[in-house]
Structures are given as structure tokens and as C-alpha cells.
Amino acid sequence: MSQPSTDLAVRRRSRWGLVGVLVVLLGVVGLAVWHAHHPMPLPTETRTVSANTPVDEPVYVGVANGVEGRTLNLSGVKVHTTSNTAVSVTPLLCRDGRLEATTDPTAFCADLVNPEGQTFGSTDSIVLQVVSPEPAIAVVDPVRLGFRESLQWGTFPTGAGAVVRVLSR
């Protein structure tokens, strides 16, 4: 019969096992972070929306439509405009509607709201309210949406650009 060993010797474990586990763990965390920062891009368009409006009368220009099958939680809408005089450009979220260009968006949108913190679904659109106190020409680049979708988030350009002419009365 053999007797149990009462030897108190310490066996050294291989550090390679611990290093391997750490490498795999860092790889998984890195992949998760990469995935969170790389959602599918949003569609852009090559067309340009044109609109005319008199001085001091706002015009509403539809520049981006919701994407079928995607619901985005918006953190903001960035607008870049180049104009020859002061022009006010305000992004709005058109609920359950779409429009090209109009001075009365209520006929096309169930509701117009500030897009920050809102959901952007397939039946919604991004509308720009453009107004100027003097004659102007404004060229608006496609908007950039800051959003979260499921576990992913990002900021991408989407929709079409616009050219708005503010005419004297």
C-alpha cells in the first residue's frame, strides 16, 4: 500500500497558460469595442434638393429619409452650410412623413421635433428649416447623424445635399 504524500513542495504552474488566457481576453474585448464603433453606414444620395423662399419666410427641405429595417436613437444632427450671407439652418425630425421642399410642413409630417434624443425610424425623415433676413444662397452638405443602434454607435453622413435661394420680396 502506498501512503499519501505529505510533501509540502510547491509546484510551479506554467505562466504560458495565464498569458494565453490574457491574450484571448484582450482579443475578445478589442473585437467588442471595434464592433461597437462600426455600425453599417447610412445611405447617401447624389441628388441635390433645390428650394426657393422669400426673405424672412422659412422653407422646409427634406434631406434624409429613414432606412427600412433600421431604428436609430439619435444623439444629434450635424449640418454644414456655406452661404454668402447669414442663414439660419435648423435640423428637425419629421415624424411619419417625407417632403422635398415646402413652406408648410404640417401637410407632410405628423409632427416636427428636435431630433436630439429621438428615435429615427423608416417612416421618418430629417428636414432642414432654412430662413434668412436678407437675400442669400445657401449650399447645404448632406447631414451627419450621430446615433446609437443596438450596441453600436457612430456618426455618418446620410441623405442628399441642398441648395436654398432666399429671394428678396
The predicted pLDDT at position 49 comes to 97
Residue 122, domain member (yes or no) = yes
Distance CA 91, CA 129 (A): 6
Residue 87's domain spans which residues?
A: 44-167
Answer whether residue 48 is part of any domain.
Answer: yes
* pLDDT tens digit sequence for 12-61: 767 887 888 888 888 888 888 877 777 888 999 999 999 999 999 999 99
Confidence check: pLDDT of 1 > 60:
no
Q: What angle do CA 39, 156, 154 make, to 5 degrees?
A: 45
Q: Is 161 inside any structural domain? A: yes
Identify whether the C-beta of residue 128 lies closer than 8 Å to the C-beta of residue 140. Answer: yes
* pLDDT score, position 152: 87
Decide if 16 is inside a domain: no
**What pLDDT sits at residue 37?**
73
> Helices then strands (H, E): number in the chain?
1, 12
Residue 113 lies in a domain: yes
Tens of pLDDT, residues 53-99: 999 999 999 999 999 999 999 999 999 999 999 999 999 999 999 99
> How many CA atoms lie within 13 Å of 111's alpha carbon, on the beta-carbon side?
6
Is 2 contained in some domain? no
| Residue 111: predicted pLDDT | 94
Q: How far apart are CA 115 and CA 60, in angstroms?
A: 15
In a domain, 56, yes or no: yes
How many folded domains does the chain comprise? 1
pLDDT at 33: 80
Q: Residue 5: which pLDDT band, with cuts at 50, 70 and 90?
A: low
Say which DSSP state 85 is in.
Answer: S
| Mean pLDDT along residues 157-162 | 97
Q: State how beta strands 111-113 and 88-95 pair.
A: antiparallel
Distance of alpha carbon 71 from alpha carbon 110, whole angstroms: 18
CATH number at residue 53: 2.60.40
The reported pLDDT for the residue numbered 79 is 98
112, part of any domain: yes
pLDDT at 32: 80
What count of residues does the chain have? Answer: 169
Q: What is the pLDDT of residues 125-154, one digit of tens each?
A: 999 999 999 999 999 999 999 999 988 889
Place of cell 413652406: 103
Banded pLDDT at 2 (limits 50, 70, 90): low
